[in-house]
Amino acid sequence: MVLSHAASDSDVSVHSTFASRYVRTSLPRFRMPENSIPKEAAYQIINDELMLDGNPRLNLASFVTTWMEPECDKLIMASINKNYVDMDEYPVTTELQNRCVNMIAHLFNAPLGETETAVGVGTVGSSEAIMLAGLAFKRKWQNKRKAEGKPFDKPNIVTGANVQVCWEKFARYFEVELKEVKLREGYYVMDPEQAVEMVDENTICVAAILGSTLNGEFEDVKLLNDLLVLKNKETGLDIPIHVDAASGGFIAPFLYPELEWDFRLPQVKSINVSGHKYGLVYAGIGWVVWRNKEDLPDELIFHINYLGADQPTFTLNFSKGSSQVIAQYYQLIRLGHEGYRNVMENCRENMIVLREGLEKTGRFSIVSKDEGIPLVAFSLKDNSSHTEFEISEMLRRYGWIVPAYTMPANAEHITVLRVVIREDFSRTLAERLVMDIEKVMHELDELPSRVIHKISLGEVKSEDNGDNMVVTVKKSDIEKPIEIINVKKSDKPIFC
């Protein structure tokens, strides 16, 4: 089943322009063609269609890396034909993955001895990493309940309503109840006190987010840890913490080294991070590390004999490319602590430039925090005439991809625009974006307001009530589903 819709249902053929130098017949759009075509024609046809994609460098919706050094690009292309799971055939690739796991574990202050190796694995992304961490928590909880002779069929996990959609997928796919701490206006992350109140004997873990996709804010993992320590002592429970550091795991150690959020806290048992976000690698690499071996149940690890070697594996995927693992190792040794710190500080400085530029316009309220992911989330101070969705749409005319979305449960009335500052988003681009936003606001000001537009369409009813004119806006049948779609899309953030 194809889950997405085809761009065009009216034409079942793909027509070529420049490729007509090599081929004159059109290609079927949804069926494999009967005959081969020249390689030049295949390239040109696909290249022409891809021109209509957005520019990755101007995609300010995504946290995912869109630029790497040419030397790393060469390493990626040189290893693109290596299958990551062929460990016996590609032992150096396996060694590089293990080095990455250990470097990241030390970065997160795992309690490792001088000769002790870390427990972790490379994944396709943080979504797979979260599935693995969640499975480890579920299995460990089930084993404990079985040993105590207690029911083990109703596990739950406590999160904030701001979690990424992969947490909802984990809960649904692996039959775990998702207990969400609702947000409120002005506080868009999980409240640790409310989270601890929601835990019970069936809670497998509390998931904290180091860098919310909504506004970049770090959740207070230290407070959550301290409250859970007290709760566990009072109740005899042993509720652990998983930190979803998909976006913030490669930021906090370099910008906020004194911030306690990682394995320095005793209740933190596992952490995931996205190498393809602020780990500075192209899409397709994530990592999950555990505090120690006891936190990853042995029965989840498979020992397989594949192509002549015993291979321990704990992943949802099997065959995958080696390129991203090699690229991650390149970045870790190429940049080191100094290089990562420079990149993150530069991102933060460009964030400040953008934030101050938006504040100077006098039109926006800043929703994001100074401490967190280098991004700027902002809302219109007055959206009675035009909305954040209109700004997002009009910025497309200048090439910018800036998402607009509503907040999750209990804060749905708040609409936000968000700009993620990545390594390749320069100060010049930040200043240019502010200029283009000002142009868009000027263009919107010149347009009739939504109420005036609806009066012209006969979609409002006006009544003369003495000195005051009362205007009642009737939503059209066309507008209603559009508003519903916007809310549903933001029900769980799905940003990359």
Q: What is the pLDDT of residue 205?
A: 98
The pLDDT of residue 457:
47
pLDDT tens by residue, the chain, 496 residues: 556 555 555 566 766 666 566 677 778 889 998 889 889 888 988 998 899 898 999 999 999 999 999 999 999 999 999 988 887 788 899 899 999 999 999 999 999 988 889 999 999 999 999 999 999 999 999 999 999 999 999 999 999 999 999 999 999 999 999 999 999 888 999 999 999 999 999 999 999 999 999 999 999 999 999 999 999 999 999 999 999 999 999 999 999 999 999 999 999 999 999 999 999 999 999 999 999 999 999 999 887 765 556 667 788 888 888 999 999 999 999 999 999 999 999 999 999 999 999 999 999 999 999 899 999 999 999 988 899 999 999 999 999 999 999 998 888 889 999 999 999 999 999 999 999 999 999 999 998 765 455 544 454 454 545 444 444 444 444 344 433 334 344 456 554 5
pTM: 0.87
Q: Which residues of 100-130 are buried (b: 16+ CB within 10 A; e: fewer)?
A: bbbbbbebbbbebeeeeebbbbbbbbbbbbb
Give me the residue label for tokens 């693992």. Answer: 325
Interior CA angle at 277 toward 274 and 282, to 5°? 100
DSSP three-state, residue 75: helix
Closest CA to 204 of 238, 243, 157: 157
Angle at 374 between CA 369 and CA 380, to 5 degrees: 55
CA distance 123 to 422: 22
Fold of the domain spanning 75-335:
Aspartate Aminotransferase; domain 2 (3.40.640)
Classify each residue of 24-62 as buried b or exposed e, where b means 16 or more C-beta atoms within 10 Å of its C-beta: eeebeeeeeeeeeeeeebbebbeeeeeeeeeebebbbbb
- Residue 205: its H or E element: strand 203-209
Which fold does the domain 340-451 belong to in CATH?
Aspartate Aminotransferase, domain 1 (3.90.1150)
Q: Tokens in use for 391?
A: 């700004």
Per-residue pLDDT, 480: 41
- Model pLDDT, residue 318: 82
Question: The tokens 């080191």 sit on which residue?
Answer: 336
What DSSP assignment string belongs to 164-192? -HHHHHHHHHTT-EEEEE--BTTB-S--H
Q: Domains of the chain: which residue ranges?
A: 75-335, 340-451
pLDDT in tens, 390-427: 999 999 999 999 999 999 888 888 999 999 999 999 99
Spatial CB neighbours of 123, under 8 Å, sequence gap ≥ 6: 129, 132, 272, 285, 286, 287, 288, 315, 316, 317
Task: Quickly tell me which residue has 């940003």 as its tokens.
Answer: 495
Report the pLDDT value the prediction gives residue 313, as an integer from 0 to 100.
79
Q: In angstroms, how far is CA 1 from the centroid of its own chain?
A: 25
- Secondary structure, 3-state, 447-493: CCCHHHHHHHCCCEEEEEECCEEEEEECCCCCHHHHHHHHHHHCCCC
Here the tokens at position 205 are 């873990």
